[in-house]
Amino acid sequence: MTLGVFVTSTVAWFDISNNLIVNNLELGFSDDKGVQVSFSADGKKYSLADPTVLEKEVGYESSKPLIPVTSAYQSDWLNDKAVFGETMPVLHLGPVDGNSVTKSGYLQFPVYFTSAQDGYIYLDSATILKANDEENAKSAKKFHLSESDLKNIEKCARVSFYSQDFGFQIFEPNVNTPSKTLFGGRLDINPFDGFYDYNASAKREIMYGEYNSDSAILYYGLASTENTGYDGTLTCFNSGTKAGISPLDLEKSIQDGGLKIVQENAHSLSEMVPPEDGQSVGLPITYCYAGEPKEIILTIYVEGWDFDTVAAVIQSSFNFDLVFNAVYMPKISK
């Protein structure tokens, strides 16, 4: 899969005035062991789905915008009442609350695996997401950007798989250990002015995102008579505190106030490939019975709460080869 001309705002990940544009997309599937995919239960089977196939099968449009979103507030849809086949993963366009559901800004469609024998479907070690250095060099020159900044795109993309067998799983590329992204915290967004947002009447900084707001006690430091600056690069995640405003003390709120910020449960590639021992199950995507199409919901998106989403990534291109593998073995009961 090749994602090209990736555009985002330097200000805030949910600023939809600047869209992330996907110019080209290609999904590649390995059929070394007889695995094929279709996009409906009785649809045509492919071992490679290029842009032409995706345009025909799932309505993929190269000009359709991709916007930084978040998979936070999962409990709103992924709960005891969720029934696979009647439920789709939900993404949100904003950090404030769970009401900002978006139907656009990401790629989402069903994929049906068919295998030659009974077995588990995993990601393959050939799966790779890398910045397109050649295209990014052109963009860096054209827009006076740093190529190293453009390369940060490798760190904030996500792929999720939702199946009847193994539920909702998030794949985070290019990490040895998942980043454990927090879906909450302080933000400098409204306006983006070098200070974390605050409640003017209460004179306290605002806590954004998904956390136990009903029970947590938030602690604040003493307000300063002078503006407090920041270290490093200014982003909506890394900013200062306005003079006269009490800074939110996240550490004390967690330690003494019982604050619990919901954390992304993502997995690295090494966790999602077939286990090396050949015996344990590990983290498969789904299980297939020979010749019977098995549905999953595939979602490709950019996680807005990932700090790298706003790290000076203005215009970037990257290549993404999503490859699957099959391990033929009887299904092991949990």
What one-character-per-residue DSSP string does 255-315 give? HHH---B-B--EE-HHHHSPPTTSSS--S-SEEE-TT--EEEEEEEEEBTTSGGGGSS--E
Question: Global pTM?
Answer: 0.89
Domain ranges of the chain: 2-173+265-328, 184-261
Cα 23 to Cα 25: distance, rounded to the nearest angstrom: 7
- Which pLDDT score, from 0 to 100, does residue 334 have? 61
Work out whether the CA dihedral 13, 131, 271, 293 comes out positive or negative: positive
- Which pLDDT score, from 0 to 100, does residue 63 have? 59
Q: 208: Cβ–Cβ under 8 A, 6 or more apart, which residues?
A: 95, 96, 184, 185, 186, 187, 189, 197
Query: Nearest CA to 100 among 174, 166, 183, 28?
Result: 183
Q: Cα 183 from chain centroid? A: 12
- Amino acid identity, residue 153? I
Q: Partners of 26 in the beta sheet? A: none
What are the 10-residue block averages of pLDDT along the chain, 334 residues in total? 34 35 50 77 86 83 72 94 94 81 89 91 88 80 79 86 97 95 93 94 97 97 97 90 98 98 97 87 95 95 83 62 86 78
Query: Nearest CA to 213 among 251, 184, 252?
Result: 184
- Extract the tokens encoding 165: 């067998």
- Extract the tokens encoding 10: 């330097």
- Extract the tokens encoding 153: 């795109």
- Amino acid identity, residue 245? I
